[in-house]
């Protein structure tokens, strides 16, 4: 079953025929590092075999918990930040499960996401939306001490306790956390929350196919059995180091070839609004994996044709350091025919009777030609349709590609040491215990900036 096809034919003017094959030896070495767990960060490569090594008992519990939540809650709030929320949010958008939550005949709760910012306004609006509705929460944090989700959890937990009492509130709290230690694990054990595990061998940005993402996706109405089937198909299809067979590795190699030619910013683009959060998820996957040691491709995203009216001019004629990767849905879920009118005031008579998806495809084709002519390399990942199976396979495509891409650039793709810098400064400014030594220095430096 072919659900994903990678097309790099527009790169002919940017990449010579021999360049991809010349990467084969390096790709084979990187593939061996990844699969034999000899490369940097190998302790966090559990995603590679997750499609066959996932916890089947926990998977069953996830489905049961999701069914309970869908029956007893009008609103479900997933609390997490970064990899603890982007994957689930991306999947809900990709599978068109968000608008469906508002349909009168739909079973199941409205799924919301919190703990991904420190905005009091945003959290207030969630509280207002919940109102007196029945609701449940899923707090997702390996440590239980990450600032943004910890604040949101305190606030929403308080609302649960006020509405249901402490004992009943505990039955509506689901904790996805470390299997053995941490603040959230300690609280969950003490209060009796149902617990799911953040796997030790999988970093947050690679964790969407664990309980981290699967519970919110299942609550939203996604078929996680089909999602896992697609994920397993990705493992099967992208298992060979042979560049002539493995399209995920073709993508990894080509983006490195382009980077070495000076194209060091990649824009992930789509032509369906429901793929916007695919771009957000991918940006963390690529940016946090590759942006270190003063190396890496800078990941950006754009939503076409919308952003063609804001970014199109720069992409067409600005500085030549960009390349584009399009995720194109070949068979969208729905289509609308453009109606006829007696006059032609809007100039659309030439489109009467045509379908919107046809127009959208011609926009894509026109953009590829224009941007390629303008000096911007373009690659396309074609996905057959927006369903669970295809999404599972697409997730594996990107995860395995980014892992190999990082190794090709001599980077540990599975750590993220740089994210601690801003946190330490913030904790010092807030007076967090243990950061007293940094506080005076940060206070002095603060005056240089504010």
* Catalytic machinery residues: 288, 423
8 vs 30: CA distance, rounded Å: 22
Helical H segments across 384-419, by residue range: 388-408
Task: Say if residue 180 is preceded by a cis peptide, omega within 30 of 0.
Answer: no
Rounded to 5 degrees, φ, ψ at 191 are: -95, -10
Q: Report the Cα 359 to chain-centroid distance in Å.
A: 28
Q: In angstroms, rounded to a whole number, what is the distance separating the alpha carbons of residues 419 and 307?
A: 29
- The whole-angstrom separation of Cα 159 and Cα 126 is 11
Among 221, 71, 216, 73, CA closest to 135? 73
Edge-first strand order for the sheet with 75-79 is 110-114, 75-79, 135-140, 173-177, 194-197
CA–CA distance, 360 with 444 (Å, rounded to integer): 54
DSSP secondary structure letters along 28-71: HHHHHHHHTT-STTGGGBGGGTHHHHS-HHHHHHHHHHHHHHHH
SS3 state of residue 25: helix
Distance between CA 78 and CA 110 in Å, rounded?
11
Query: Residue 331 has what DSSP assignment?
Result: S
The answer to whether 121 and 87 have CB atoms below 8 angstroms apart is no
CA distance 112 to 85: 10
How many angstroms separate the CA atoms of 135 and 172, rounded?
A: 7
DSSP at 434: T
Q: How many CA atoms within 13 Å lie on the side-chain side of 242? A: 4
For 210, phi then psi, to 5°, come to: -100, -175
Q: How far apart are CA 400 and CA 235, in angstroms?
A: 9
CA-wise closest residue to 281 among 111, 395, 122, 386: 395
């Amino acid at each position: 079953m072919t659900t994903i096809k990678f097309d790099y034919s527009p790169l002919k003017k940017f990449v010579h025929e021999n360049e991809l094959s010349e990467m084969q030896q390096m790709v084979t070495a990187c593939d061996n590092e990844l699969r034999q767990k000899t490369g940097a960060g190998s302790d966090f490569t559990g995603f590679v075999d997750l499609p066959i090594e996932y916890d089947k008992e926990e998977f069953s519990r996830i489905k049961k918990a999701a069914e309970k939540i869908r029956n007893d809650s009008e609103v479900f709030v997933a609390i997490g930040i970064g990899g603890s929320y982007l994957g689930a949010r991306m999947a809900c958008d990709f599978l068109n499960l968000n608008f469906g939550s508002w349909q009168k005949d739909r079973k199941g709760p409205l799924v919301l996401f919190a703990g991904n910012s420190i905005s009091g306004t945003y959290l207030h609006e969630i509280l207002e939306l919940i109102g007196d509705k029945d609701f449940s929460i899923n707090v997702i944090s390996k440590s239980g001490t990450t600032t943004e989700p910890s604040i949101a959890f305190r606030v929403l937990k308080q609302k649960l306790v006020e509405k249901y009492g402490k004992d009943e509130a505990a039955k509506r709290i689901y904790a996805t956390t470390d299997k053995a230690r941490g603040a959230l694990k300690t609280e969950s054990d003490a209060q009796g929350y149902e617990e799911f595990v953040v796997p030790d061998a999988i970093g947050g940005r690679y964790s969407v196919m664990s309980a981290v993402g699967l519970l919110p996706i299942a609550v939203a109405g996604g078929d996680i059995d089909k999602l896992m089937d697609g994920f397993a198909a990705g493992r099967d299809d992208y298992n060979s180091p042979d560049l002539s067979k493995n399209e995920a590795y073709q993508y990894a190699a080509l983006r490195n070839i382009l980077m070495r030619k000076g194209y060091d910013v990649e824009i992930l683009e789509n032509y369906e609004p429901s793929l916007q959060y695919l771009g957000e998820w991918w940006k963390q996957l690529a940016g946090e994996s590759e942006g270190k040691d003063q190396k890496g491709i800078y990941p950006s995203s754009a939503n076409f044709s919308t952003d063609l009216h804001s970014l199109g001019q720069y992409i067409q004629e600005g500085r030549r350091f960009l390349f584009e990767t399009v995720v194109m849905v070949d068979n969208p879920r729905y289509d609308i025919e453009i109606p006829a009118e007696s006059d032609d005031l809007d100039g659309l008579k030439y489109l009467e009777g045509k379908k919107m998806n046809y127009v959208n495809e011609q926009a894509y084709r026109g953009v590829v030609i224009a941007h390629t002519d303008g000096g911007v390399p373009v690659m396309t990942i074609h996905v057959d349709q927006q369903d669970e199976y295809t999404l599972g396979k697409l997730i594996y495509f990107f995860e395995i590609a980014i892992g190999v891409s990082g190794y090709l650039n001599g980077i540990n793709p599975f750590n993220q040491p740089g994210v601690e810098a801003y946190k330490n400064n913030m904790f010092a400014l807030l007076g967090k215990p243990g950061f007293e030594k940094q506080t005076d220095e940060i206070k002095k430096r603060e005056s240089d900036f504010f």
